[in-house]
Structure 1
């Protein structure tokens, strides 16, 4: 025996062994919706057989369901599975542990959303002052040299020579020389209106000497911004000379997506980080939510307010912001890891207990960093799978109707549905019909046999009849028609009442009949055999009627 001949049986044995191991593993995981090997199931005696589409239809022996499907055996360890609906799987505790299945509880809690975005530091515009001259003149002396220079309240900014200011001073001195109180008050009011400081007016009143240049001072602490003048510049009313912005408190403007706007409200807590000071976090609040939406970016602007006592935050800095939107409403929530998103459906794997699991459809709402809101499909206190859910879903989704289990009293025993009669079995008081989907029972459109209740006129259920029918589930699992609304009767509903061999009046020549001479009162029609008459050979004119004169 050469090397190749020796390897062929070995390879064959390996392949067969692999198939056996793989098949055994599949049986251990998902054989008949239970965690028992196939050999153990074969040794057990079924308790009863149920219909695949209707677990209420039970029989003591194998057979067919009313829909023509093979009945499924139910064993002692799986007797409760029929109550959970299609798609329920069952695995042993050992397999649950090996798969690493973990569950989370459906519970009510407030939504805690963390909306992450970016923003830019700005001056507090409520404390940003723009300085304009109120007279024309020339800048003789500029005490601040560059934008960004810090200034204190009362510090000199610039000195201005203006003929208008010189004239205003002279008017005050002239009024004082005349000792006219009204003129003095008017002259001082004019100087104040031209933003001349009180200290300058008091000094002028004491010294009684006109100053050719007037120095103007900073109205608040801050930094110089937008410095648009230099010494020697000619300025006039309306010229923006410079701005002073306060930095002890700053604004941060950020943007959020349109779908997030409803989560945020005024005074929500905001945390902020900057790249130039890693590890440090600033705490602020939402100061204003702008009322308009950017049509290009589809975002909403936010104005955030932060304290800045050490002037570490500087205008135009880039920042990462996180808005902590804490809701107050208690909503039904599940861990975000439990949700399985598909292209057309959101679902979770519901843990039913005792190793049973089923995939069901859910409707989701808002979400935060760790949880997601459930609008429909789950109830509080239920358990959902948060780990290994994709493996369980791949098996359950093959046959699942994706509907949660319902209590028996929540499912109606009867339903109205449209259909068409295909066959009438009058001797058995049954019909075969094609019916539309029955959503309340989870039935698809199909053909099946129905019994007909005694209260229903079975003669109306002829083949081809389209109708709305009320179908009812009986306690023994059978389904019968208990009410009908006929929309269109079948073709065989109206039958001919004429016997065979009757006279064909369409071939009779009525024009040659002398009906005017016939005394029909004396005719004994009961003695006439119309079936043997040949209409073409009858000569009505030759008839001698009884009672002729």
Structure 2
């Protein structure tokens, strides 16, 4: 099939004013509103079918109005050597459009992942201070939230009257030198919430001590201090909270598509704006289980040592995560890929000025290149400039993209066929040969592995078949809908 230079001039104008509106205008001209007919499009040729340029995959057996848009269906004419899967572009159009191509290559994408992160408190290094018994606040030692304190810093003095009477009884029991009574009295003091150090202090001094001084159990930032002099406190009441700063967390957000390349224990490198030229190293300690529904990112958490206390929660950092070492994969330039929202396409450049739309499956992206999981082979040429115009013209001409087929799981035998009957338990297939089984093509029923295998399918659909050999015969485990076979 050939396309005139004038047709591509119209396509260029169509892209300039919008793909949908331009496609409708160009389709109307090619349908008979003044465009010069091409030899391959001559009206005396028999009509194969009619189609809507905006939905070229849908074919109709008679002319009429499109059910999708307010326009007439366009005929597809038969022609010698016609190939409905490729588009022929004149050399003059290639030159005028400045089209460029690039080869599909095999290589290793950079394994590092660049991300932005922020420092946060290590929530595993937290201490809460509570009142062990009811009493009164005698003194507060002049500290406030935000202070960074060493371990053992006094915070508040509590007067606990209940302890005074119990300590006096304990001193009286000590005078009896009865070991069992002394042990029982000590246990009573512990049940009242008295620390062992305070019990030992009472025993050595021989004096009761109802005043308890609460100190910081760890070094860190005082985050809350919920007491004031003269307050009454009850047993179990929260009085203060301290968060340690010997280590901090670094949380970095990475695209969910890259989550599989990150492993717990992997190395990270971070550079903080506050300390340029002073890179930090750490280890990944967790890949958080939930993804952000708005940004579609996953949080990678690492832990950084902070011996000097210069790392402050809230600081931003540029992070590089070293992912697993990758094997060489097929790659194309990112600019060669046309993303439609539902699929990804490239325009294959073939001999004699022919261009074929090809659906592909994408993987990771790095340094302006995209990993191709299926749909292409090494050495093929793809269009990197002007591909949108070719795609627009291919849509108008009814040229459909070839679909990228995923490899079937190991153990499945492959064939192609048409569904003739279908229910929840079995499917009747008119299939071609199963080459791996030396089984000729025929029409027969097969059991389905589960009802979900045939979800969304109906009789008449062309399918790619994946079957497993069992003691009771072939079991259908995979049915992938395909375009109508020529």
The SS at the match of 1:126 is coil
Note the C-alpha offset of 1:210: 1.8
The SS at the match of 1:366 is strand
Rate the CA distance shift 1:100–1:191 in 2: closer, same or farther, 3 A: farther
| Of 354, 358, 363, the match for 1:366 | 363
Give the Cα–Cα distance (whole angstroms) in 2 for the partners of residues 343 and 184 of structure 1.
79
Structure 2: unaligned runs, 5 residues or longer = 10-38, 49-76, 404-416, 419-431, 433-459, 461-486
Note the C-alpha offset of 1:242: 0.1
Structure 1: unaligned runs, 5 residues or longer = 1-21, 27-50, 54-63, 73-81, 406-414, 417-439, 441-467, 469-549
Give the Cα–Cα distance (whole angstroms) in 2 for the partners of residues 237 and 338 of structure 1.
69
Contact 2:359–2:402, Cα closer than 8 Å, also in 1: no
Report the equivalent of 1:106: 105
Contact 2:268–2:282, Cα closer than 8 Å, also in 1: yes
Report the equivalent of 2:421: none
1:350 paired to 2:348: yes
| Of 234, 242, 267, the match for 1:244 | 242
Rate the CA distance shift 1:85–1:150 in 2: closer, same or farther, 3 A: closer
Report the equivalent of 1:167: 165
Note the C-alpha offset of 1:348: 2.0
| Higher radius of gyration, 1 or 2 | 1
Give the Cα–Cα distance (whole angstroms) in 2 for the partners of residues 345 and 296 of structure 1.
21
Alignment of 1:231-270 (within 5 A): 231-252=229-250, 265-267=263-265, 269=267
The SS at the match of 2:131 is coil
Contact 1:166–1:211, Cα closer than 8 Å, also in 2: yes
Note the C-alpha offset of 1:238: 2.0
Say which structure is richer in strand.
2
Give the Cα–Cα distance (whole angstroms) in 2 for the partners of residues 210 and 71 of structure 1.
111
Rate the CA distance shift 1:335–1:84 in 2: closer, same or farther, 3 A: farther
The SS at the match of 2:201 is helix
Contact 2:362–2:374, Cα closer than 8 Å, also in 1: no
Say which structure is richer in helix.
1
1:87 paired to 2:87: yes
Larger relative contact order (C-alpha < 8 A, sep ≥ 6)?
2
Contact 2:282–2:302, Cα closer than 8 Å, also in 1: yes
Note the C-alpha offset of 1:145: 1.5
Aligned residue pairs, count: 341
Rate the CA distance shift 1:157–1:104 in 2: closer, same or farther, 3 A: farther
Report the equivalent of 1:338: 336
Contact 1:113–1:367, Cα closer than 8 Å, also in 2: no
Give the Cα–Cα distance (whole angstroms) in 1 for the partners of residues 242 and 346 of structure 2.
58
| Of 124, 127, 130, the match for 2:128 | 130
Rate the CA distance shift 1:214–1:252 in 2: closer, same or farther, 3 A: same
Note the C-alpha offset of 1:163: 1.3
Report the equivalent of 1:539: none
Give the Cα–Cα distance (whole angstroms) in 2 for the partners of residues 230 and 124 of structure 1.
28
Two-structure CA RMSD over aligned residues (Å): 4.9
Note the C-alpha offset of 1:105: 2.9
The SS at the match of 1:187 is helix
